[in-house]
């Protein structure tokens, strides 16, 4: 099934949240606006609302995660959902049970939503095609393919600081090839109408035909950073590299690392972003990561409100489906 048909119901509302590709500007804007309404709640002493009371969310993380897993769990708690964090290491998937059989068994326990991170591209889409009509699937990152909730919290952070997307020049720097975050960000930035999306990195870490995604490619960081409003640094995804894509990390830092000196090429009020985890001295200099221009930890914080919005918008639609 087409990813748009899978993600949106007949009224154009979110059914599953799997990929930015296949959504539209209105849905993205709705998520950002809904996050605004939740941001106030996250600043209160009592941070909970009962929107998901009585609903069960199962977090299935087949890959390591600190930020996505924790902020989804916080978002679920703040919406008063019942939460299960399946411990994959001690689950029956280690006894040869297939992914689909695991899902069918968990679904038999009457859950309403799965938040899934998986190393295989397309895993969340595959699961969404097989769940019951009342169950929603949220992608917490799948292989090289997509990390849509990260892209949305990044868009929210950009809007928080820059207000309008239209005039912005945004540079995404580093290992674009292996980055599901970069793919989702590029779709979201273009859908929201930014002036220019630049990708900067060595040819070996740049996907073939990346220009077709609506980006300008730079292989020299000094050229790519010139006058940009937002710099998004990426981690070297060593766990996804099979073979040598760069001579070594020191050489990568020498050629593509965001140093304080290079950052002066960006617009004077530019912000620095990074999905995390950051590797200091590999893709970013500590003084830049910790500078007043850095919004890296703010991204994490704002991610809670954005994930509350995604959960609320997805589960409501699914809850209206057959029960």
Residue ranges in 103-122 that form contacts with ligand CP under rule CB under 6 A: none
201 near ligand CP, judged by CB under 6 A: no
* Cβ 185 to ligand CP shortest distance, Å: 11
Residue ranges in 126-145 that form contacts with ligand CP under rule CB under 6 A: 141
Q: Tell me the C-alpha distance between 230 and 71, whole Å.
A: 23
> Could you give the string, one character per residue 248-277, with x where binding to ligand CP holds by CB under 6 A and - elsewhere?
---------------------------xxx
Residue closer to ligand CP (CB basis): 68 or 107:
68
The tokens for 185 are: 């960000």
Please answer whether residues 175 and 235 qualify as being in contact, where contact means their C-beta atoms are separated by less than 8 angstroms. Answer: yes
* Cβ 249 to ligand CP shortest distance, Å: 19
Residue 10 burial class via C-beta count within 10 angstroms: exposed 0-12, middle 13-18, buried 19 and up: exposed
* Cβ 140 to ligand CP shortest distance, Å: 7
Residue closer to ligand CP (CB basis): 67 or 293:
67
Residue closer to ligand CP (CB basis): 67 or 280:
67
Residue closer to ligand CP (CB basis): 78 or 147:
147
Q: Tell me the C-alpha distance between 294 and 273, whole Å.
A: 6
> Could you give the string, one character per residue 50-79, with x where binding to ligand CP holds by CB under 6 A and - elsewhere?
---------------xxxxx----------
Residue ranges in 148-177 that form contacts with ligand CP under rule CB under 6 A: 150
Residue in 30, 19, 56 with CA at minimum distance from that of residue 134: 56
Residue closer to ligand CP (CB basis): 255 or 279:
279
Residue closer to ligand CP (CB basis): 169 or 180:
180
Residue closer to ligand CP (CB basis): 136 or 153:
153
User: Which position's Cβ is nearest ligand CP?
Assistant: 68
* Cβ 67 to ligand CP shortest distance, Å: 4
What contacts 24+ positions apart, CB below 8 Å, involve 93-102? 93/62, 99/123, 99/126, 99/127, 100/126, 100/127, 100/130, 102/60
> Could you give the string, one character per residue 275-294, with x where binding to ligand CP holds by CB under 6 A and - elsewhere?
xxx-----------------
* Cβ 132 to ligand CP shortest distance, Å: 27
* Cβ 52 to ligand CP shortest distance, Å: 21
Contact positions toward ligand CP, by CB under 6 A?
A: 65-69, 141, 147, 150, 275-277
């Amino acid at each position: 099934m087409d990813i748009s048909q899978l993600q949106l119901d007949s009224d154009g509302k979110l059914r599953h949240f799997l990929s930015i590709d296949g959504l539209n500007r209105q849905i993205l804007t709705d998520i950002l606006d809904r996050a605004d309404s939740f941001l106030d709640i996250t600043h209160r002493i009592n941070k909970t609302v009962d929107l998901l009371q009585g609903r069960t969310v199962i977090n299935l993380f087949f890959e390591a995660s600190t930020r996505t897993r924790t902020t989804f769990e916080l978002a679920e708690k703040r919406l008063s959902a019942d939460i299960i964090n399946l411990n994959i290491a001690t689950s029956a998937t280690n006894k040869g049970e297939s992914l689909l059989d695991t899902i069918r068994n968990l679904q038999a326990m009457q859950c309403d939503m799965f938040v899934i991170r998986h190393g295989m591209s397309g895993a969340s889409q595959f699961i969404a095609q097989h769940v019951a009509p009342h169950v929603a699937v949220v992608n917490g990152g799948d292989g090289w393919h997509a990390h849509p909730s990260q892209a949305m919290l990044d868009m929210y952070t950009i809007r928080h600081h820059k207000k309008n997307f239209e005039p912005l020049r945004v540079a995404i720097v580093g290992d674009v090839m292996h980055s599901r975050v970069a793919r989702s960000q590029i779709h979201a930035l273009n859908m929201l109408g930014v002036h220019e999306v630049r990708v900067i990195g060595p040819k070996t870490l740049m996907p073939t035909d990346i220009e077709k995604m609506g980006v300008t490619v730079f292989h020299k960081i000094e050229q790519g950073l010139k006058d940009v409003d937002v710099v998004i640094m990426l981690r070297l995804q060593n766990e996804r590299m099979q073979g040598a894509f760069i001579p070594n990390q020191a050489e990568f830092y020498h050629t593509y690392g965001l140093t304080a000196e290079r950052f002066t090429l960006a617009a004077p009020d530019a912000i620095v972003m990074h999905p995390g985890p950051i590797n200091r001295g590999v893709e970013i200099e500590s003084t830049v990561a910790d500078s007043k221009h850095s919004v890296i930890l703010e991204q994490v914080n704002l991610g809670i409100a954005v994930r509350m919005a995604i959960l609320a918008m997805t589960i409501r639609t699914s809850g209206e489906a057959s029960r």
